């Protein structure tokens, strides 16, 4: 579906894009304001998994807060790009079998400090949009 240069990306293609990338952003509520953090991620049974240290992301997971996760790409020269959003509850991975599977995802932290907690974002809502190249002249007046 296309509307004013925007195309809706279906869930299958969103999942393909999610599987093909490893860097995104997670948005959490920190008590009095939202915060967005860059994260490395992988997929586990269609859900987003991040490896993190104690802090806002882990706190959101322990409290099963709804979070938003996003990946995107943009090409300024051609005015094209896309984004995929995943919204769902975050949860800390604590059961042994799932934790072993999360560790096997190969998420190696870029930051050097302790990051040995795993958070799963349940992919309840997965949406995507693509900005299509505009081929006509833009008009601003009558």
138 inside domain: no
Task: Name the domain count of the chain.
Answer: 1
- Which range of residues forms the domain containing residue 116? 2-131
51 inside domain: yes
140 inside domain: no
Reported pTM:
0.84
Instruction: Look up the CATH number of the domain holding residue 118.
Output: 2.30.110.10
User: End-to-end distance of the chain based on CA atoms, in angstroms?
Assistant: 28
| The pLDDT of residue 142 is above 50 | no
The pLDDT of residue 89: 94
Average pLDDT over residues 19-48: 92
114 inside domain: yes
| The pLDDT of residue 131 is above 60 | yes
The pLDDT of residue 9: 97
141 inside domain: no
Of 6 and 130, the structure prediction assigns the larger pLDDT to 130
Q: pLDDT class for 139, splitting at 50, 70, 90?
A: very low
């Amino acid at each position: 579906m296309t509307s004013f240069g925007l195309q809706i990306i279906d869930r299958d293609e969103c999942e393909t894009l999610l599987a093909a990338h490893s860097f995104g952003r997670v948005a959490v509520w920190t008590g009095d304001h939202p915060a967005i953090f860059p994260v490395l991620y992988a997929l586990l049974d269609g859900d987003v998994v991040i490896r993190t240290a104690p802090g806002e992301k882990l706190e959101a997971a322990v409290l099963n807060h709804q979070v938003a996760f996003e990946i995107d790409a943009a090409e300024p020269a051609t005015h094209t790009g896309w984004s995929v959003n995943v919204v769902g509850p975050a949860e800390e991975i604590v059961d042994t079998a799932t934790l072993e599977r999360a560790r096997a995802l190969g998420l190696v932290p870029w930051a050097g400090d302790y990051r040995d907690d795993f958070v799963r974002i349940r992919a309840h809502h997965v949406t995507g949009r693509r900005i299509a190249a505009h081929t006509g002249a833009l008009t601003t007046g009558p």
